Amino acid sequence: MLLLHELTHWTKGKSRCNRNMAERFGDDTYAMEELVAELGAAFQCAELGISLKPRAAHAQYLEHWMNAMKADKKTIFTAAAKASEAVQFIKTMQ
């Protein structure tokens, strides 16, 4: 799962998915990118039939994710959409 998480981060670049959430999430940008990467990894695991196991890093980001979701109810949908976009981009590389 960690490799799929990092692969999802790789899609962030301008020449890939051009994902920059700094304007929307400010100080929580890093945590939001981690949420996108986690969701992207989960989506890829589901498609590949790989079982998910929680990582220790999940707990470190949980407070940021919860704060962002409390501030903006659409946060999880935004993160899921960005993760889906990343997974679709990765599929084009195959």
Per-residue pLDDT, 67: 84
> In the 8-state DSSP scheme, what is residue 13?
S
Q: Reply yes or no on whether the pLDDT at 52 is more than 80.
A: no
Helix (H) or strand (E) holding 15: none
Alpha carbons 52 and 1: distance in angstroms, whole number: 7
> Model-level pTM?
0.79
Domain that holds residue 47: 2-92
- Grouping H, G, I as helix, E, B as strand and the rest as coil, residue 49 is coil
Please give the average per-residue pLDDT across 46-72, as a whole number. 80
Nearest to 40 by CA among 17, 24, 59: 17
Stronger pLDDT, 59 or 17, i.e. the higher one: 17
Domain count across the chain: 1
The Cα-based distances of 29 to 11, 47, 78 in angstroms read 16, 27, 13
pLDDT, tens only, 16-48: 999 988 877 666 788 888 889 989 999 999 999
Only one residue has tokens 């498609």, namely 47
